[in-house]
A and B are shown apart, each in its own frame.
Chain A
Amino acid sequence: MAVPKVPQENIRNFCIVAHIDHGKSTLADRLLEQTGTVSSREMKQQLLDDMELERERGITIKARAVVLYYDRDGKTYELNLIDTPGHVDFHYEVSRSLTCCEGALLLVDAFQGVEAQTVANGFAAMEHNLAVVPVINKIDLSHARPDEVAEEMEHSLAVEQEAIVRVSAKAGIGIGELLDAIIDQIPPPSGDPSKPLQAMVFDSHYDDYRGAITYVRIMDGVVRKGQKIRFLKGESTHEVMELGQFAPQQRACEELRAGQVGYLVCNIKSIDDVHIGDTISLPGDNAAPALPGYKPPQRMVYCGLYPSDGQDFTELRDALTKLAINDPSFEFEAETSEALGFGFRCGFLGLLHMEIIQQRLEQESDIDLVQTAPNVTYEIVTKRGETLQIHRPQEVPDAGEIEEFRQPIVRVSLIQPTEYIGPVMKLCQDRRGVLNGQEYLSPTRTMLTYELPLAEVIYDLHDKLKSVTRGYGTMNYEVIGYFPADLARLDILVNGNRVDALSFICNKGDADRRGRAVVKTLKKEIERHMFEVAVQAAIGTRVIARETVSALRKNVTAKCYGGDISRKRKLWAKQKEGKKRMKSIGSVDIPQKAFMAVLDTGEGNKK
């Protein structure tokens, strides 16, 4: 296919923002198909979600960009569709993508209506001054309620009902009108090709053969093959080996001009040199100013990953290195635990991000892992006036040295059918939430805003919300800062030995309940030994809960004759294998699952 040369005024850069499952990927597919970018024959469902894991989970994790050409009234338009991740963990990447666009399709499911991420992403688009094209999807559904949903959109996002385009991405209804709306309502990019090069890095990935592939939006100027460029934040200079656009496969071209979106290959061997949000310009004095808004990714959740007994530490390090190359928001560093030996402290954007990384590790390498329970980052101001970042409970100093213990607080918006408001409020209050606001989106749907400790949110709020609202509740959160709280480190002792990997931080008011719940869970997880195993929870030297795993009293096979010998030997040898999945602490074998026991909140035992 010949690549048309499109004047800047015919370029449109846009993204689709939506709550998960409202049909973003399906709509993207349909746009690709309708514009002939991909023939129906090549059409694999949901082309943009090309990572296997994304397909599996049905969510978009990494942002992608694709160029579509569309002819109307004798003119060819270049439409750059920038896909955005749909989950709150990847909020930062969403915001980078928005910076590259002049417009956004705000997509809402005609049955589900406005949900938490619709609101969060819709506002984010408005804050970036994007032209918002409101779209209601899935109008083909027999139980669709487009009129009510239009009302909800007006209420919550202040869009005009008349402006809403109604489509079915699946059935291909209304796609032509939507393309018209994109061209008519979204302004062309306003950059100046004659100015010095200024480009925004909004994503990257690593290719084993060509090194880092950098995704860019050219704001001003032109970039050409063979040219030298400079990363302003990364402070490195490179030569452009190849550049092009995604169609949706990489397609090389000679230049990218102001307003266009594409990729650069610069022989960059380490992805660490590419920072999402960085600005690319020219080396030397003639450089354009850096674009505002670069922030390093903020890791909110940490956990320890250890090879289980008898497994290789270096193998795990290699696997983590490989993952980090493709995902700069994931970070790890070596740590040691008295209980678990050599391993790594790993930082994630959120809990979903953590699960994804862990799943990739399991899929892509053959390592048995012991994972410690995730925790958020705390701040401690010491008596000496230092501020410490606490990424793991073991780092908490003695109580006497702490002036102030702070935890991250998030603002959570929760949207649910009004009938569930009572249980949702209880859920938040039980987690020390402070009600910020309550808003009726429509006669049947309500949005609540709470301030909650992040720690309370990440562990299970989402699951609990789903269960008290029969799946209809949705939530989104943003960090608002660190605030002092009455916190303490709770230690777990197994036969008197503190197991550092089991320590956790919690509110003092919850300590008794949490401590009891955790030792109870541990009692269930730890198999009986040939001796009694005492499991205790303690704050400092004060023991607040204790359970005992009673000793094995009799465990002996009675009959063992000719035919039993092979069978028994195999059985016992297999049990030995099972022990490898455990960590031996003192002489107590602790199974991998037990390290997650500290997540047990003891909700069930609450009076």
Chain B
Amino acid sequence: MTTNSRFAPPRAAYIHVPFCRHRCGYCNFTLIAGRDDLVDSYLQAITRELSWLETPREVDTLFIGGGTPTHLTCEQLQQLCATITEWFPLADGHEASVEANPLDLTIEKVDLLASYGLNRISLGAQSFSASKLALLERDHRREQIVSAFEAARETMQSVSLDLIFGVPDETLDNWEIDLKLALGLSPDHVSTYGLMFERGTSFWSRLMKEDLTQVAEEVERQMYLAAIHRLTQADFEQYEVSNFARPGHRCRHNEVYWAGETYFAAGPGAARYIDGRRETNHRSTTTYLNRVLANQSPVAESETLDAEDSARERLVFGLRRLEGVDRGGFATATGFEIDQLVGKPLSKFAHAKLLEDDGSRIRMTQEGLLVSDSIWPEFLRR
């Protein structure tokens, strides 16, 4: 078996837009705040980077993420969509998502996006509480979430809301209110994220200075369980650690990542997976621009996994999905039997009821998922 035959050519593409109005205190994404002067160079660079594909590649899923793609002006957004869809023509029955900030998402922009075939909006609502939004240093208010949501709802096939929980001082009751208000909008999809304190963010240094305190682990657990409970009660299916969908509204693009399938990518910090090789573009927007505009590769890191490591990786990321991993499918896709790779820890965790194993399919239990970061190391190797 050659490496290449294991990997089908990508049918998915990710585009990273690194601009934001300002940097929120908890955010460590690849972005550059307050440098709208760079947008034009960026558009030029993206066009250049995509042109290196040589021929257009039809995709089933597209995801324009950020940063804040909707921070671009209509004109800039239009240019961006034109370039992207030129190089990544959308196949019939496609899913094409864009991340949006409540403050920027006007009807005009929604219509523009829709005209290029974008049919899914992921709205960075985060919370409906004024104090929580202020603490998160978000620039929108509750009413703006509602109007942005309504605007998207008109034209888009699918609208998703992002919510954050476990913000300093937040209580379980506060969180339940956020969940209720979110459900009140009847979204098609919800992503809920426990707040992470990441190195290099201002939240991290505030945490170190004890200017911020983390929510107790037990409370965070209760919040996560409350989200699962409320959303599944409202007919959402939890299909991944942080993702919930109404029937037919899973994010197919993200499922590509978790299933270990291949994808194209462009833009600063963007990661692609082609032919068994993972590559990540430089995370500094200016470096990215300089390189691409000088016709140099923007790739900062790359690795090619051997068959066993990529099988193990597929297992771990597959298990973060609630439907789990099927033994037969896994063996066909990777050439490895699960039991041969991780038989011992598998039975240990099954015994501890952290995962379920019916002999053909392996899935995490809720308890297992809750502590899954402590499980994954045992499935990997160095």
**In this complex, what residue of A is CB-closest to B257?**
A562
Judging by beta carbons under 8 Å apart, are A560 and B381 in contact?
Answer: no
Which of B33-41, B87-95, B325-333, B371-379 has 4 or more CB atoms under 8 Å from chain A?
B371-379
A residues less than 8 Å from B382 (CB atoms): 573-574, 576-577
Judging by beta carbons under 8 Å apart, are A566 and B303 in contact?
Answer: yes
Binary flags per residue of B238-266, CB closer than 8 Å to A gives 1, else 0: 00011000000000001001100001010
CB of B288, distance to nearest CB on chain A (Å): 14
A557 interface residue per 8 A CB criterion: yes
**In this complex, what residue of A is CB-closest to B220?**
A554
Chain B's interface size range is 35 or more
B123 interface residue per 8 A CB criterion: no
Judging by beta carbons under 8 Å apart, are B370 and A555 in contact?
Answer: yes
Q: Which of A552, A565, A568, A569 has the most CB of B within 10 A?
A: A569
A566-B280, A566-B303 in contact; A560/B241 too (CB < 8 A)?
A: yes
CB of B264, distance to nearest CB on chain A (Å): 10
B residues less than 8 Å from A562 (CB atoms): 14, 257, 263, 265, 270-273
Judging by beta carbons under 8 Å apart, are A569 and B263 in contact?
Answer: no
Binary flags per residue of B157-182, CB closer than 8 Å to A gives 1, else 0: 00000000000000000000000000
A residues less than 8 Å from B192 (CB atoms): 558
A2 interface residue per 8 A CB criterion: no
B210 interface residue per 8 A CB criterion: no
B156 interface residue per 8 A CB criterion: no
Q: Which residues in window 121-163 of A have CB below 8 A to B?
A: none
A562-B14, A562-B263, A573-B377 in contact; A553/B217 too (CB < 8 A)?
A: yes
A565 to B313, CA, bound (A): 8
A561 interface residue per 8 A CB criterion: yes
A residues less than 8 Å from B224 (CB atoms): 554, 556
A530-B352, A554-B217, A554-B221 in contact; A560/B317 too (CB < 8 A)?
A: yes
A572-B380, A574-B382 in contact; A530/B371 too (CB < 8 A)?
A: yes
Judging by beta carbons under 8 Å apart, are A579 and B377 in contact?
Answer: yes
Judging by beta carbons under 8 Å apart, are A553 and B221 in contact?
Answer: yes
B residues less than 8 Å from A568 (CB atoms): 376
CB of B352, distance to nearest CB on chain A (Å): 7
A306 to B194, CA, bound (A): 41
B residues less than 8 Å from A557 (CB atoms): 196, 241, 372-373
**In this complex, what residue of B is CB-closest to A563?**
B271
**In this complex, what residue of B is CB-closest to A530?**
B371
Binary flags per residue of A539-581, CB closer than 8 Å to B gives 1, else 0: 0000000000000111111111111011011001111110100
CB of B325, distance to nearest CB on chain A (Å): 15
Q: Which residues in window 183-227 of B have CB below 8 A to A?
A: 192-194, 196, 217-218, 220-221, 224
Judging by beta carbons under 8 Å apart, are A555 and B313 in contact?
Answer: no
B59 interface residue per 8 A CB criterion: no
B residues less than 8 Å from A576 (CB atoms): 377-378, 380-382
Judging by beta carbons under 8 Å apart, are B313 and A569 in contact?
Answer: yes
**In this complex, what residue of B is CB-closest to A574?**
B382
A563 to B273, CA, bound (A): 10
Judging by beta carbons under 8 Å apart, are B372 and A555 in contact?
Answer: yes
Q: Which residues in window 434-491 of A have CB below 8 A to B?
A: none
CB of B19, distance to nearest CB on chain A (Å): 17
**In this complex, what residue of B is CB-closest to A557?**
B373
B18 interface residue per 8 A CB criterion: no
A329 to B374, CA, bound (A): 45
B20 interface residue per 8 A CB criterion: no
A residues less than 8 Å from B217 (CB atoms): 552-554
Binary flags per residue of A31-67, CB closer than 8 Å to B gives 1, else 0: 0000000000000000000000000000000000000
A563-B271, A574-B382 in contact; A558/B241 too (CB < 8 A)?
A: yes
CB of A495, distance to nearest CB on chain B (Å): 14
B269 interface residue per 8 A CB criterion: yes
A221 to B296, CA, bound (A): 84
B369 interface residue per 8 A CB criterion: yes
A residues less than 8 Å from B265 (CB atoms): 562
A residues less than 8 Å from B378 (CB atoms): 576
A residues less than 8 Å from B313 (CB atoms): 565, 569
B62 interface residue per 8 A CB criterion: no
A552 to B372, CA, bound (A): 10
Judging by beta carbons under 8 Å apart, are A556 and B370 in contact?
Answer: yes
B354 interface residue per 8 A CB criterion: yes
The SS class assigned to the A binding surface is loop
CB of A364, distance to nearest CB on chain B (Å): 25
Judging by beta carbons under 8 Å apart, are B271 and A559 in contact?
Answer: no
CB of B104, distance to nearest CB on chain A (Å): 21
A563 to B271, CA, bound (A): 5
B278 interface residue per 8 A CB criterion: yes
CB of A585, distance to nearest CB on chain B (Å): 15
B320 interface residue per 8 A CB criterion: yes
**In this complex, what residue of B is CB-closest to A529?**
B374
A residues less than 8 Å from B377 (CB atoms): 572-573, 575-576, 579
CB of A551, distance to nearest CB on chain B (Å): 8
Q: Which of A554, A558, A559, A568 has the most CB of B within 10 A?
A: A554
Judging by beta carbons under 8 Å apart, are A556 and B218 in contact?
Answer: no
A553 to B354, CA, bound (A): 12
B316 interface residue per 8 A CB criterion: yes
A residues less than 8 Å from B369 (CB atoms): 556
A552 to B221, CA, bound (A): 10
B residues less than 8 Å from A555 (CB atoms): 370-374
Judging by beta carbons under 8 Å apart, are B370 and A572 in contact?
Answer: no
CB of A578, distance to nearest CB on chain B (Å): 8
A566 to B265, CA, bound (A): 15
Binary flags per residue of B272-308, CB closer than 8 Å to A gives 1, else 0: 1100001010000000000000000000010100000
CB of A559, distance to nearest CB on chain B (Å): 6
**In this complex, what residue of B is CB-closest to A577?**
B382
A579 to B376, CA, bound (A): 13
A residues less than 8 Å from B194 (CB atoms): 554, 556, 558
**In this complex, what residue of A is CB-closest to B375?**
A530
A residues less than 8 Å from B271 (CB atoms): 562-563, 565-566
CB of A589, distance to nearest CB on chain B (Å): 10
A553 to B368, CA, bound (A): 10
Judging by beta carbons under 8 Å apart, are B278 and A552 in contact?
Answer: no
A572-B316, A576-B378 in contact; A565/B278 too (CB < 8 A)?
A: yes
A559-B193, A561-B257, A563-B280 in contact; A552/B380 too (CB < 8 A)?
A: no
A568 to B273, CA, bound (A): 15
Q: Which of B218, B220, B370, B382 has the most CB of A within 10 A?
A: B382
A558 to B303, CA, bound (A): 24
Judging by beta carbons under 8 Å apart, are B316 and A569 in contact?
Answer: yes
Judging by beta carbons under 8 Å apart, are A573 and B380 in contact?
Answer: yes
A530 to B348, CA, bound (A): 12
Judging by beta carbons under 8 Å apart, are A553 and B218 in contact?
Answer: yes
A569 to B375, CA, bound (A): 12
Q: Which of A529, A531, A573 has the most CB of B within 10 A?
A: A573
**In this complex, what residue of A is CB-closest to B269?**
A563
A169 to B264, CA, bound (A): 73
B residues less than 8 Å from A579 (CB atoms): 377
**In this complex, what residue of A is CB-closest to B216?**
A553
A450 to B331, CA, bound (A): 72
Binary flags per residue of A308-346, CB closer than 8 Å to B gives 1, else 0: 000000000000000000000000000000000000000
CB of A510, distance to nearest CB on chain B (Å): 36
A-B contact pairs, 28 of them (CB 8 A): A529-B374, A530-B354, A530-B371, A530-B374, A553-B218, A554-B370, A555-B372, A556-B370, A556-B373, A557-B196, A557-B372, A557-B373, A559-B193, A559-B196, A561-B254, A562-B257, A562-B263, A562-B265, A562-B270, A562-B272, A563-B271, A565-B273, A565-B278, A569-B313, A572-B316, A572-B380, A574-B382, A575-B377
Ordered nearest first, which 8 A-B pairs have the shortest CB separation?
A: A563-B271, A576-B377, A558-B193, A554-B221, A575-B377, A573-B380, A572-B376, A555-B373
A: residues with CB less than 8 A from B are 529-531, 552-563, 565-566, 568-569, 572-577, 579, 587
Given A554-B221, A565-B313, A574-B382: 9 more A-B contacts, CB < 8 Å? A552-B374, A553-B217, A553-B370, A555-B371, A556-B224, A556-B241, A560-B317, A562-B273, A566-B280
